[in-house]
Amino acid sequence: VLVGLVAEGRRVPRAGYPVVAGGEVIGEVTSGAPSPTLGKPIAMAYVDAAHAAPGAEGVGVDIRGSHEPYEVVALPFYKRQK
């Protein structure tokens, strides 16, 4: 399931980085970038359906061997006001 991820830290994930939860790989990042609008790094990733709900606990991205916590969010990341 395609989900949005918002970083709790400052490290930006890149395509192909594994998404992890509970020490197991649950998906893969498809793209990532810093978000000037949100002021945090964001990413999109395919993850197992069990971890796809917005606010899912314990989800992170393995960035070069370091587990970085990320929040699962609904897409789109931002909706402009009308």
Q: What is the DSSP string of 32-48?
A: EEEETTTTEEEEEEEE-
CA-to-CA dists, residue 50 to 34, 39, 47, 68, 77, angstroms: 27, 28, 8, 20, 21
pLDDT tens digits for range 34-50: 999 999 999 999 999 99
- Sort 67 into a burial class: Cβ within 10 Å, 0-12 / 13-18 / 19+: middle
Fold of the CATH domain 2-73:
Elongation Factor Tu (Ef-tu); domain 3 (2.40.30)
- Kindly report the pTM of this predicted structure: 0.92
Peptide bond into 54 cis (omega under 30): no
Tell me the mean pLDDT in the region 27-31: 98
